């Protein structure tokens, strides 16, 4: 997996050209809109959806509610928005994986949506970077070079991610390839149990969004250290942690976004109206402060730029996933 460089990954990535904040919209024409999110309440996707919904209220629609369509690793939410009336009243907030990873993993009979034919991009709501946590099994080493030295000659070194078939899973695969280590992915359902086993010495490394790793890696001398982060530059909260690129692995640079989408065939004027309202919401100081607490950064793009990023991400992942040989259980 080469995670995308920001010149175009795109899964995250050199300076993003954010559009200028648009002027406030007139009195909204629609009474109620819903933001559909594919994960339970309390997680970062749900929290981001609620932050956006609150700030779209009164600009895009008089009332904006969040609907949690949980199941099938976020696929049910995408299917629900695909089937909705294209009138602008149903909005999808989804992580990139559901649209740029899953189409390369699942057969059409399982996926039941085409990310380009069935959805219209609006803007990313934010992006987050990834970290490689190293635990006591690998002596809580703080660099990729040290981890590589420790792992040399070992077989089937166990590493984890929050989910099989996720970007984090493939990041771990690519670290193994880049370092030449023999590593085996141990899938988990969610970050919490994976990090617990990392702390307990049952895993050598684990890959997660920084919002999940940060509490365990912030204390100096703690059992979990960060061997690298996937951002282009060091993170302000972790100035001593080198990026993967600094350590000689620029192909591991990347991030993931949460994006807003509408059903296909939604009128262009509605797409533009939602874009203006969303960019205005993302530009508010309180929104930026709130997502910073999730270890995210605001990432508004024009519709055209987001469409290009979306396509670039999709194309970037195809060879990465094919080379990995991974195929999920299709249910």
Q: What is the pLDDT of residue 170?
A: 94
- String of DSSP letters for 241-296: SPBTTTTT-GGG--EEEEEEEEETT--HHHHHHHHHHHHHHHTSHHHHHHHHTTTE
Hey, what domains does the chain have and what are their CATH numbers? 30-127+257-324 (3.40.190.150), 129-252 (3.40.190.10)
β-bridge pairing 119-134 and 30-37: unpaired
pLDDT band at 329 (very low <50, low <70, confident <90, very high): confident
The whole model's pTM is what?
A: 0.87
Mean pLDDT of the chain: 90
> For residues 287 and 5, what is the distance between their CA atoms, to the nearest angstrom?
26
In the chain, DSSP assigns E strands to 30-37, 61-68, 90-95, 119-134, 157-161, 183-187, 205-209, 225-229, 255-263, 296-297
- Of the candidates 68, 126, 132, 155, the one whose C-alpha atom is nearest the C-alpha of residue 259 is 126
All residues at 6 or more sequence positions from 39 whose CB lies less than 8 Å from its CB, including other chains? 45, 46, 68, 70, 74
- What distance in Å separates the CA atoms of residue 50 and residue 55, rounded to the nearest whole number? 9
- Say how far apart CA 161 and CA 5 lie, in whole Å: 22
pLDDT at 163: 87
Confidence at residue 11, expressed as pLDDT on a 0 to 100 scale: 34
Q: Which residue has the higher pLDDT, 196 or 6?
A: 196
Share of the chain above pLDDT 70, in %: 91
Q: Which of 139-153, 245-259, 314-328 has the lowest mean pLDDT?
A: 314-328
The answer to whether residue 107 scores a pLDDT higher than 60 is: yes
How far is the C-alpha of 226 from the C-alpha of 229, rounded, in Å? 7
Q: What was the pLDDT predicted at 257?
A: 97
Predicted confidence (pLDDT) per residue in 194-230, tens digit:
999 999 999 999 999 999 999 998 877 789 999 999 9
Is-contact 173 251, C-beta < 8 A? Answer: no
Q: How do residues 133-190 score in pLDDT, each as one tens digit?
A: 999 999 999 999 999 999 999 999 999 998 889 999 999 999 999 999 999 999 898 8
CA dist 230 and 194 (Å) reads 19
Q: Taking 90 as the threshold, does the pLDDT of residue 19 lie above it?
A: no
Rounded to an integer, the average pLDDT of 66-75 is: 94
- The answer, yes or no, to whether residue 103 has pLDDT greater than 50, is yes
Cross-strand partners of 238: 235
pLDDT tier at 27, thresholds 50, 70, 90: low
What is the structure's pLDDT at 25?
43
Q: Is the pLDDT of residue 309 over 70?
A: yes
Identify the pLDDT of residue 264. 98
293 CB contacts (<8 Å, ≥6 apart)?
none
């Amino acid at each position: 997996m080469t995670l995308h460089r920001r010149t175009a990954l795109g899964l995250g990535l050199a300076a993003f050209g954010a559009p200028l904040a648009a002027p406030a919209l007139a009195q909204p024409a629609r009474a109620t809109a819903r933001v559909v999110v594919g994960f339970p309440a309390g997680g970062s996707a749900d929290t981001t959806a609620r932050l956006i919904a609150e700030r779209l209220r009164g600009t895009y629609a008089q009332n904006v509610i969040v609907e949690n369509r949980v199941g099938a690793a976020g696929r049910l939410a995408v299917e629900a928005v695909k089937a909705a009336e294209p009138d602008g009243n149903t909005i999808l907030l989804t992580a990139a994986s559901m649209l740029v990873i899953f189409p390369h993993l699942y057969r059409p009979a399982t996926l039941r949506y085409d990310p380009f034919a069935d959805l219209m991009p609006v803007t990313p709501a934010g992006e987050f970077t990834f970290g490689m946590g190293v635990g006591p099994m690998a002596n809580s080493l703080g660099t990729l070079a040290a981890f590589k030295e420790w792992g040399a000659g070992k077989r089937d070194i166990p590493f984890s991610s929050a989910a099989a078939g996720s970007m984090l899973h493939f990041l771990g695969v690519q670290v193994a390839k880049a370092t030449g280590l023999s590593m085996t992915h141990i899938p988990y359902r969610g970050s919490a149990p994976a990090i617990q086993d990392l702390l307990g010495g049952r895993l050598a490394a684990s890959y997660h969004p920084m919002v999940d790793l940060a509490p365990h890696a912030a204390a100096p001398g703690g059992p979990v250290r960060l061997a690298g982060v996937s951002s282009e530059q060091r993170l302000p909260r972790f100035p001593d942690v080198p990026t993967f690129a600094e350590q000689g692995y620029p192909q591991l640079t990347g991030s993931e976004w949460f994006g807003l989408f509408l059903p296909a065939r939604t009128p262009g004027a509605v797409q533009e109206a939602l874009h203006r309202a969303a960019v205005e919401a993302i530009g508010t100081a309180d929104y930026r402060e709130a997502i910073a607490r999730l270890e995210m950064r605001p990432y508004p793009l024009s519709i055209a730029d987001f469409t290009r990023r979306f396509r670039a991400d999709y194309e970037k992942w195809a060879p990465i996933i094919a080379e990995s040989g991974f195929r999920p259980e299709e249910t």
